[in-house]
Amino acid sequence: MSKLEKRDEIARAALGLIAENGFHGAPMAMIAEKAGVGAGTIYRYFENKDILINELYRDLEERIYPIILCGYEQKQTIRNRFLHMNSAMLRYFIENPLDFRFLEQFHNSPFGVAHRRDKILGKKKECDIFLELFREGIAQKIVKDLPLVILFALSFGPILTVTRDHILGFIKLDDVLIDQTVAACWDAITA
């Protein structure tokens, strides 16, 4: 097993356990066991548990980003671009429930809060496309003139909730429902 493969094995084990059991339901020893390595080995790849978690998040962002943007075309209408991105995100979450659950754990923790703060205040690049889309929409009087934070909430809040319900088995989302849900988000931010 190569160095990179082992790092990934550990990361995968950690993400899975954290997604299923939360941060304190995933002791380092358990992660090690699931990854098939010794407890001390983790520390060759991740300085400590906090750093492991943060790197897990970064990896995840990097994995998700291209997937969501795949097929995104600047020349499309704002509406189509919005629908594309939002449904891509919803689909990704549904297909990768562990990733989704990890993100939820992450956001609901000191890690996530710190990260979010950086994101909003420091305007991290990954939001740019959404921000840009919203701004463009506002300028064209297509999107409601509300603070970006609220437009975000209207767009993603339902996605998160609906994904959670899907994962928990409260509903079975199919292509039609996904499209309808995303379209409803569009209705929320437009008039």
| Torsion region of 169: left, alpha or beta (phi above 0 gives left; psi -120 to 50 gives alpha) | left
Min. distance of Cβ 116 from DNA in angstroms? Answer: 22
10 binds, among a second copy, DNA, none (CB under 5 to 8 A by kind): none
Minimum distance of a second copy from residue 75's CB (angstroms):
26
Distance of closest approach, residue 150 Cβ to a second copy, in angstroms: 6
Q: Residue 50, interface with DNA (CB under 7 A)?
A: yes
Tokens of 145: 């003139």
Of residues 96, 92, 91, 107, the one with CA closest to residue 16:
96
Nearer CB in complex with a second copy: 46/106? 106
Tokens 């959404």 -> residue: 130
122 belongs to the binding site for a second copy (CB under 8 A): no
Q: Which residues contact 17 (CB under 8 A, 6 or more apart)?
A: 25, 26, 30, 31, 34
Answer for which of 94, 162, 175, 179 binds a second copy (CB under 8 A) is 162
First to last CA, the chain: 55
Which residues form the interface with DNA (CB under 7 A)? 1, 3, 6, 24, 26-30, 36-41, 43-45, 48-50
